[in-house]
Amino acid sequence: MTSATDRAPLLRAIHHVALICSDYPRSRAFYSETLGLRIVREVYREARESWKCDLEVSPGVQLELFSFPGAPSRPSRPEAQGLRHLAFAVVDLGAAIAELAVRGVDCEPVRVDEHTGRRFTFFADPDALPIELYED
């Protein structure tokens, strides 16, 4: 009998994370211009009255940005079930925070992960989705 530890991992990597935004042009600009993610492809899906924009986070990892008319907002405070936040790895947290400030994005005070000793901070996207920067 083969145990779970003897088998190859089922999941290899995260391929993409999908977000539904309230204001597509504003969110598209935030992720592509403010955060600097490269647009891989962008399509308007007429049957759904919806935009879909694939943004490259790193090779093989994408963020999918969707617009859907009338989509309800997701509460984030108090914390709700579901996606808690989106986290990006950075080499130099201080430099990333400084660059975001130049681009008009305010970050929370830097904290230290009590388990790993790594520094991190949060900021919000245009729909108040918490985004974490984690010094890797």
Per-residue pLDDT at 130 exceeds 70: yes
pTM value is 0.86
Give the number of residues written for the chain.
136
Q: Are residues 66 and 1 in the same domain?
A: yes
Model pLDDT for residues 54-97, shown as the tens digit of each residue: 999 999 999 999 999 988 887 776 777 777 889 999 999 999 99
Domain housing 58: 1-72
Model pLDDT for residues 10-47, shown as the tens digit of each residue: 778 889 999 999 999 999 999 999 999 999 999 999 99
Q: Are residues 9 and 66 in the same domain?
A: yes
The amino acid at residue 7 is: R
Report if residue 26 sits inside a domain: yes
In 3D space, the residue among 66, 71, 18 whose CA is nearest the CA of residue 42 turns out to be 66
Report if residue 55 sits inside a domain: yes
